[in-house]
């Protein structure tokens, strides 16, 4: 008999079959997502049925919490109709994501479905009362043009497939897109309600957009004190504006290879220290690779993809070398710790190697997933992993980015900020180069609420750790705490709190 957890997992993989292939879950290699309005409503009804039964199911409380979150978050995305105006960001826009996945998974069994997906994406764009940003339509069209101009063996002989992409590109260029003054969800139908639901799902908390906005402002202010302290040691100045200037201009990469070498060395140091901080270590290995050239314009600075369940592929820490010589090398170590070791690689590999049900191994709960990644950036300093104060400035740089996300994401989608306002805020309060600021803001526009998860999750993990240490005193073991957090897989933050409280009470 199929359990409710199994039923929910099957729905999750039907929702995102390319992810199933990426992590090595068999049974979805011949499928692609159904983007049609009818298909989405069928999925919504299916998930609503699961929600109706979860309270009376035989699942334990943690599984019930995860099932509720997963079903609700997919329903929220369906209701927000983001597919109708998300066209540029590789990890979010359906067609751009399809192109980026061709370098990561085998398409041989699903190639015949590509025209259907592209046509469905086009129909959703034509039929909607929502429009993408004009610049995003142009960026999405440019991504397709790069694909059409490049020889890709997996598409040889599929002229009809290339024709579908060319037609979709023409559609993007013909759209009357929104201008940059109206970038956020608040300018679209039902935008305020949709954003509130997305904030709830991504943070798994009751924070309002206004509260998150203020939290970000407060964190940005406090980070300036840390910049001044470390800047005084590195350059003999506590002037934050001068520290920002020097970070943007003085400590840049000389070559792409230097960036790659630094990441490999940082991961090696983390691996060596990990046994002192974790009782359980992942069996899967992690490799560093450069993002394929065709995807670099739309890919983020860095990201991680899970190891295959059958061991056929390691976890991969992807580095985007685009504009490397314009980037601060101070960010190298902190990003490696977040994305790879002890960040997402530990988190996702350890969960996959447990006896948890698949729905708990592979749940998409960003406040937990990205909260852990951000938590490990400061943990790395406790572990003695940063090689210099310059590298610690990079840690502060990413802290500022994530605090800035709280301000900018809510500014765009709740308070009607223009794209320029968002860019200017990040330029004034972070050390990100201009090209990265623009790509980050475009990501926030097309993934409303997702950027909030990082800092909210990190702060909650730190709060729970402090509470457990206070309750346990000398009995507190950081390795046991980390094992508890990781061995339970992705859970809502309230559920994580219950797990930590119960653990503290047992010891």
Q: What is the pLDDT of residues 141-163, one digit of tens each?
A: 999 999 888 876 555 555 568 88
Q: Looking at residue 300, what is its pLDDT?
A: 79
> Among 62-66, 255-259, 443-447, which stretch is predicted with the lowest mean pLDDT?
255-259
Q: Looking at residue 152, what is its pLDDT?
A: 61
Residue 202 CA to residue 82 CA, distance in Å, equals 15
Q: Give the percent of the chain with pLDDT over 70.
A: 98
Rounded to 5°, the CA angle 386-390-393 comes to 90
Q: Looking at residue 157, what is its pLDDT?
A: 57
Q: What single string gives the DSSP state of each residue in 231-294? A: HHHHHS---HHHHHHHHHHTSB-S-HHHHHHHHHHHHHHHHHHGGGT-SS--SS-EEEEEPPGG
404 confidence band (pLDDT: 50, 70, 90): very high
Laid out side by side, the sheet with 315-319 consists of 286-290, 315-319, 302-305
Whether the predicted pLDDT of 299 surpasses 60: yes
* Radius of gyration (C-alpha) of the chain in whole angstroms: 22
Question: What is the SS3 assignment for 6?
Answer: helix
CB 177 within 8 A of CB 134: yes
Half-sphere exposure of 458 (CA within 13 A, CB side): 20
Whether the predicted pLDDT of 175 surpasses 80: yes
Whether the predicted pLDDT of 507 surpasses 80: no
More confident position, 418 or 432: 418
Q: Looking at residue 411, what is its pLDDT?
A: 98
For the chain, domain boundaries: 4-201, 202-456
Question: Which tokens belong to 430?
Answer: 């972070």
The secondary structure element, H or E, covering residue 103 is none
The per-residue pLDDT of the chain, averaged, comes to 94
Q: Give which of 462, 113, 491, 146 is closest to 296, Cα–Cα.
A: 146
Q: Looking at residue 171, what is its pLDDT?
A: 98
Identify the residue whose tokens are 């699961």: 50
66 confidence band (pLDDT: 50, 70, 90): very high
Residue 478 CA to residue 503 CA, distance in Å, equals 13
More confident position, 488 or 298: 488
Provide the whole-model pTM: 0.94
Region 331-349 average pLDDT: 96
Which residues lie across from 304 on neighbouring strands?
A: 317
397: number of Cβ within 10 Å: 21
Q: Looking at residue 140, what is its pLDDT?
A: 96
């Amino acid at each position: 008999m199929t359990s409710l957890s199994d039923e929910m997992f099957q729905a999750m993989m039907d929702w995102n079959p390319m992810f199933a292939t990426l992590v090595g879950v068999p049974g979805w290699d011949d499928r692609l997502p159904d983007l049609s309005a009818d298909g989405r409503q069928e999925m919504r009804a299916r998930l609503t049925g699961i929600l109706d039964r979860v309270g009376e199911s035989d699942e334990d409380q943690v599984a019930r919490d995860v099932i509720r979150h997963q079903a609700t978050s997919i329903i929220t995305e369906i209701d927000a109709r983001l597919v109708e105006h998300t066209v540029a960001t590789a990890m979010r826009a359906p067609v751009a994501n399809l192109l980026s996945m061709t370098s990561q998974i085998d398409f041989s069994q699903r190639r015949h479905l590509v025209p259907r997906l592209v046509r469905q994406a086009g129909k959703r764009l034509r039929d909607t009362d929502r429009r993408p940003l004009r610049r995003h339509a142009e960026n999405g069209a440019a991504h397709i043009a790069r694909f059409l101009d490049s020889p890709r063996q997996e598409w040889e002989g599929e002229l009809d497939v290339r024709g579908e992409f060319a037609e979709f590109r023409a559609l993007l260029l013909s759209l009357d897109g929104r201008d940059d003054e109206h970038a956020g969800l608040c300018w679209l139908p039902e935008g305020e309600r949709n954003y509130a639901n997305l904030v709830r799902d991504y943070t798994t908390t009751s924070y309002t957009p206004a509260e998150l906005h203020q939290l970000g402002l407060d964190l940005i202010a406090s980070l300036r004190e840390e910049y001044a302290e470390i800047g005084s040691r590195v350059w003999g100045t506590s002037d934050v504006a001068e520290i920002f200037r020097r970070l943007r201009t003085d400590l840049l990469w000389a070559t792409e290879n230097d960036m790659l070498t630094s990441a490999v060395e940082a991961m090696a140091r983390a691996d060596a220290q990990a046994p002192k901080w974790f009782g359980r270590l992942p069996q899967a290995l992690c490799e560093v690779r450069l993002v394929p050239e065709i995807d670099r314009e739309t890919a983020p600075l860095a990201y991680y993809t899970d190891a295959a369940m059958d061991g056929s592929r390691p976890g991969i820490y992807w580095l985007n070398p685009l504009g490397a010589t314009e980037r601060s090398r101070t960010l190298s170590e902190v990003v490696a710790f977040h994305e790879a070791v002890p960040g997402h690689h530990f988190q996702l590999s350890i969960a996959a190697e447990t006896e948890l049900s698949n729905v708990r191994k592979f749940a998409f709960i960003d406040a937990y997933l990205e909260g852990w990644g951000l938590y490990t950036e400061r943990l790395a300093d406790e572990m003695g992993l940063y090689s210099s104060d310059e590298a610690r400035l990079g840690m502060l740089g990413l802290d500022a980015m994530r605090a800035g996300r709280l301000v900018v994401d809510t500014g765009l989608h709740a308070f009607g900020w223009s794209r320029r306002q968002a860019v200017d805020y990040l330029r004034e309060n972070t050390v990100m180069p201009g090209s990265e600021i623009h790509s980050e803001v475009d990501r926030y526009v097309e993934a409303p609420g997702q950027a909030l998860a990082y800092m909210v999750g990190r702060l909650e993990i730190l709060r729970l750790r402090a509470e457990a240490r206070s309750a346990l005193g000398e009995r507190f073991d950081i390795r046991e705490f980390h094992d508890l957090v990781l061995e339970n897989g992705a859970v809502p933050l309230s559920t994580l709190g219950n797990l930590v409280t119960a653990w503290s009470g047992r010891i």
